[in-house]
């Protein structure tokens, strides 16, 4: 807890929380990153579930590098947003759930992409469902942070 208060009082946290544009700017960046990650992941999940089979599932491999770039943008913007209210977020259920679901989503994405590279189709549908639930759940809890 000590450390969380220290984070909140750091110069960067104060800039995020108190400057006119810091917080809104980071939130806007965060939603673009979200759309890139979840959007592309969602498309691959839908493909694995049997939609638009004209497009090969392997086609998505290079695109997923783009999704990971979005992930990096959101890790940085998310971390900066976190600093401004570190002690609050660290004990806030929707936030913790969101982070847990992102972890599940990222691990699942890694497995799905590993399988695609090896032309391994085992459990593809089940993994796509886990991915959909994890990323969808991350969005739900992310939005609920503002309400609960």
Partner 1 sequence: MEALAQSLEGGAINVWVTSSAWLWPLLEILHFFGLSLLLGALLVIDLRMIGFFRSIDIRATHALLPWVFVGFALNLVTGILFIFGDPLRYAVHAGFQLKMALILIAGVNALWYAWKIHPKMQNWAADEIPPRLAKGVASVSLVVWTGVLLLGRLIPYVSSG
> CA-CA distances (angstroms) from residue 113 to 7, 38, 44, 65, 120?
35, 15, 10, 10, 10
Nearer to partner 1, 4 or 94 (CB): 94
DSSP state of 55: S
In angstroms, what is the minimal distance from the CB of 106 to partner 1? 16
Nearer to partner 1, 52 or 122 (CB): 52
Contact 60, 109 (CB under 8 A): no
In angstroms, what is the minimal distance from the CB of 32 to partner 1? 5
Binding site for partner 1 (CB under 8 A): 23-24, 27-32, 34-36, 38-43, 46, 51-52, 54-56, 59, 62-63, 66, 136, 139-140, 142-144, 146-147
In angstroms, what is the minimal distance from the CB of 60 to partner 1? 8
Tokens of 54: 């004209």
In angstroms, what is the minimal distance from the CB of 25 to partner 1? 8
Nearer to partner 1, 4 or 97 (CB): 97
Nearer to partner 1, 4 or 92 (CB): 92
> CA-CA distances (angstroms) from residue 25 to 28, 80, 126?
5, 11, 37
Nearer to partner 1, 2 or 53 (CB): 53
In angstroms, what is the minimal distance from the CB of 74 to partner 1? 13
Measured CA to CA, the distance from residue 92 to residue 72 in angstroms comes to 23
Identify which of 78, 137, 140, 131 has the alpha carbon closest to the alpha carbon of residue 105. 131
């Amino acid at each position: 807890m000590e450390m969380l208060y220290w984070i909140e009082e750091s110069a960067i946290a104060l800039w995020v929380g108190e400057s006119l544009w810091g917080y809104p700017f980071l939130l806007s960046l965060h939603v673009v990153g979200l759309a890139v990650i979840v959007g592309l992941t969602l498309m691959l999940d839908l493909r694995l579930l049997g939609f638009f089979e004209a497009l090969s599932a392997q086609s998505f491999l290079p695109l997923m590098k783009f999704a990971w770039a979005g992930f990096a943008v959101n890790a940085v913007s998310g971390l900066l947003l976190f600093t401004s209210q570190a002690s609050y977020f660290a004990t806030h259920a929707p936030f913790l759930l969101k982070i847990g679901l992102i972890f599940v989503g990222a691990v699942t994405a890694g497995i799905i992409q590993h399988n695609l590279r090896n032309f391994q189709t085992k459990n593809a549908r089940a993994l796509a469902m886990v991915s959909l639930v994890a990323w969808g759940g991350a969005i739900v809890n992310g939005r609920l942070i503002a309400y609960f």
